[in-house]
Amino acid sequence: METKFDPQAFINHLTHQPGVYRMYDVDGVVIYVGKAKDLRKRVSSYFRKQVDAVKTKALVKNIAGMDVTVTNSETEALILENSFIKKYRPRYNVLLRDDKSYPYIFISNHEHPRIAFHRGTKREKGEYFGPFPNGSAVRESLRLLQKLFPVRQCDDSYYRARSRPCLQHQLKRCLAPCVGIASEDEYKQQVELAKLFLRGKNQQVVENLGARMQQASEALEFEKAARFRDQISALRQVQDKNAVSGNQDMLDVIGLHRESGFSCIQVLFIRDGQVQGSRSYFPKVPANTDNKELLESFLLQFYLNQQRAGQIPQEVVLPQGEKVAADVQAALSEALGKQVKINANSRGERSRYQSLANKNALNAVSSRLSSQTTMANRLAALKAALEKAKVWDQDQPIERMECFDISHTMGEQTVASCVVFDQQGPLKSDYRRFNIKGITPGDDYAAMAQVLERRYKNAVEQDNVPDILFIDGGKGQLKQAENYFADWPHPPMLIGVAKGESRKPGLETLFLGFSQGAVQLSENNPGLHLIQYIRDESHRFAITGHRQRRAKVKKTSTLEEIEGIGPKRRKTLLHNLGGLQQVKSASIEQLAQVPGISRSMAETIYHAFRDE
């Protein structure tokens, strides 16, 4: 029997990231596609008690299921939404919004090609670049391209009627091929340079603008330097690649995320340069199965399914660094009767698709981990394990669990996290962080003692003492908790979670407080998976708080205060992005495109100017 759609449960498991949501009726037909800057907030707005719009009420009444695809930005969500609307033609989208096509930049296949705005059917021969989010973005980019590349933008009728150069040539924005002033080779070079720029190979142009901006600044021509800065910023914004559109014809991108007993494989289906859909798969994975074996099994079973005949891509992109045996590619190609390339080292556009697939796999696992059914099963398994160890009363329920973790860098900016779980999963409203002060740098034991004192000072009066308290660490950290609760008449159950020698998940040892022994659960035990989930969540929450504290610069910072940014990198960033404000507002992808800036460094810069 099919489970009835529970909107509140669906919303509880949603992420706050941008993305696209699809609504289905009882027959599994897509009835509405929408985009969101924050998926949870947007979707929850449909299910409020008071909804005034009649059309929204009618839509919600027909919803029998939903799913989401997470994107890197709201712009990507906008373009992916357009792609899905064209594919599914949902009836409520047709009623509630128009379905205009997205605009492109067009370079004609002419003796002297022109650069132009295009929207609609691609009838004219030439190259199309895009799509862009809106017409103003295309027009702005055309104005900038006209300043950078002296290529004509006039209509062919105007071009043929010229007998002398027009004003654009006088402004040095056109080589005037209409009257033969420029040589054929010179004009073709400019056209090719414009094409390279539109394909994203624009670093040389940006570096040139950066150098000109620097020269103007040194000559005290600040207005001129500001114009160069604004051009660089706008060009970066226009050319920021979307991970939901590109130039690939048939491509499948595999994302993989494994956490707390769940393994999710996410498949993005790229067709005609657009993400045509995505799907999450949760295969049953035996214990001690590595990523290589998991991916090989999935590829063979997934693509040899006869129902997928005719949908086989030309290329399959694996998660970065993950490889499969060479005979897997050969076996697939032979069985399917066509050459299928398996790519394990994605770059450029494929890398952005791959990042998007991984993000969706992570989101799918997070939703599955938080589901009520999963939590109930794992909580029951944990309770059974504690009962077997004779440290838990069979009639006593587990209603509240807490876990602590300590994070610091070489003893500096120490932060302790406290995460809270109840029978439904993470209780994020009760999460707390504590900035640890007044201890010897790096003394995790003293940090643990301090956070316990601060957290539970008034816990009895407030009636929020947990049933179980997990400590991320071994006997030393657990001892601090034992010392603190030694005088309590009814202390919580204390469990220290110590990683195994190889620190591999599944090898954890559970030290029971007050010398009640140690327990080691099997790798596939649902109770251990719950403990791993709680422990990993406390670690994530501590790391996030530590990064925020370490990045004192935040929104009012300067580049000089960011660790790892010296004069050379600072100069490169300012030249390539156009100024400090542009660096502050840049995305991680934009920062990582700057020469000499790795992705990890880009993330450091990005988080230095923001609250995470």
Average pLDDT over residues 216-220: 86
Beta-carbon count within 10 A of 411 CB: 13
User: What's the token pair of residue 212?
Assistant: 């000109």
CA-wise closest residue to 319 among 303, 295, 300:
295
Q: Residue 279 pairs with which residues in a beta bridge?
A: 267
What dihedral do alpha carbons 149, 150, 154, 159 form, nearest 10°?
-140
CA-wise closest residue to 253 among 131, 358, 366:
358
In this structure, of 117-131, 232-246, 286-300, 468-482, the range with the lowest mean pLDDT score is 232-246
CA-wise closest residue to 162 among 173, 148, 177:
177
Q: Which residues contact 468 (CB under 8 A, 6 or more apart)?
A: 398, 400, 401, 402, 492, 493, 495
pLDDT band at 102 (very low <50, low <70, confident <90, very high): low
The per-residue pLDDT for 452 is 92
Range of 108-122, 135-149, 403-417, 575-589 with top mean pLDDT: 108-122
User: What is the amino acid identity at position 226?
Assistant: A
CATH 3.30.420.340: which residues of the chain?
372-550
pLDDT in tens, 352-400: 888 889 989 988 888 877 776 778 888 999 999 999 888 898 888 899 9
User: What is the amino acid identity at position 568?
Assistant: K
* Upstream peptide bond of 131 is cis (omega within 30 degrees of 0): yes
3-state DSSP call for residue 424? coil
User: What is the amino acid identity at position 2?
Assistant: E
DSSP labels, 461-525: HHT---SEEEEESSHHHHHHHHHHHTT-SSPPEEEEEE--TT--TT--EEEETTT--EE---TT-
The per-residue pLDDT for 493 is 92
301 phi and psi, to 5 degrees?
Answer: -70, -40
User: What is the amino acid identity at position 577?
Assistant: L
* CATH annotation of 7-96: 3.40.1440.10
pLDDT greater than 60 at residue 466: yes
Q: How far apart are CA 355 and CA 259, in angstroms?
A: 17
* CB 6 within 8 Å of CB 65: no
Higher pLDDT, 466 or 237: 466
Average pLDDT over residues 71-76: 78
Higher pLDDT, 172 or 498: 498
Average pLDDT over residues 141-152: 82
Beta-carbon count within 10 A of 490 CB: 7
Average pLDDT of the chain to the nearest whole number: 81
250-370 classified as CATH 3.40.50.300: no
HSE of 216, CA atoms in CB hemisphere, 13 A? 17
In this structure, of 166-170, 192-196, 318-322, the range with the lowest mean pLDDT score is 192-196
* Helices and strands: H and E segment counts in the chain: 23, 19
pLDDT greater than 60 at residue 2: no
Q: How far apart are CA 95 and CA 272, in angstroms?
A: 27
* CB 610 within 8 Å of CB 555: yes
How far from 565 is each of 207, 551, 560, 597, CA to CA, in Å?
19, 13, 7, 10
Q: How far apart are CA 405 and CA 355, in angstroms?
A: 28
Range of 162-166, 210-214, 411-415 with top mean pLDDT: 162-166
State pTM to two decimals.
Answer: 0.49
The per-residue pLDDT for 9 is 85
Give the full edge-to-edge strand order of the sheet including 274-281. Answer: 274-281, 262-271, 250-259, 315-317, 341-343
Q: What is the sign of the dihedral through the CA atoms of 167, 170, 173 and 174? A: positive
pLDDT greater than 70 at residue 335: yes
> Residue 417 — left, alpha, or beta (φ > 0 → left; ψ -120 to 50 → alpha)?
beta
Q: How far apart are CA 495 and CA 487, in angstroms?
A: 18
pLDDT greater than 90 at residue 115: yes
Beta-carbon count within 10 A of 12 CB: 17
pLDDT band at 98 (very low <50, low <70, confident <90, very high): very low
pLDDT greater than 90 at residue 403: yes
Pairing of strands 262-271, 274-281: antiparallel
Task: Name the one residue in this structure whose structure tokens are 């007044």.
Answer: 438
Q: How far apart are CA 249 and CA 532, in angstroms?
A: 41
In this structure, of 19-28, 87-96, 258-267, 434-443, the range with the lowest mean pLDDT score is 87-96
Q: What is the sign of the dihedral through the CA atoms of 247, 250, 251 and 252? A: positive
Q: Classify residue 57 by burial, with Cβ atoms within 10 Å: 0-12, 13-18, 19+.
A: exposed
CATH number of the domain at 372-550, out of 3.30.565.10, 3.40.190.10, 3.90.1150.10, 3.30.420.340?
3.30.420.340
CA-wise closest residue to 256 among 229, 222, 293:
293
User: What's the token pair of residue 195?
Assistant: 């094409």
CATH 3.30.420.10: which residues of the chain?
250-370
The per-residue pLDDT for 287 is 62
Q: Residue-wise over 188-198: b if at least 16 C-beta within 10 A, else e?
A: eebbebbbebb
CA-wise closest residue to 211 among 237, 231, 240, 241:
231
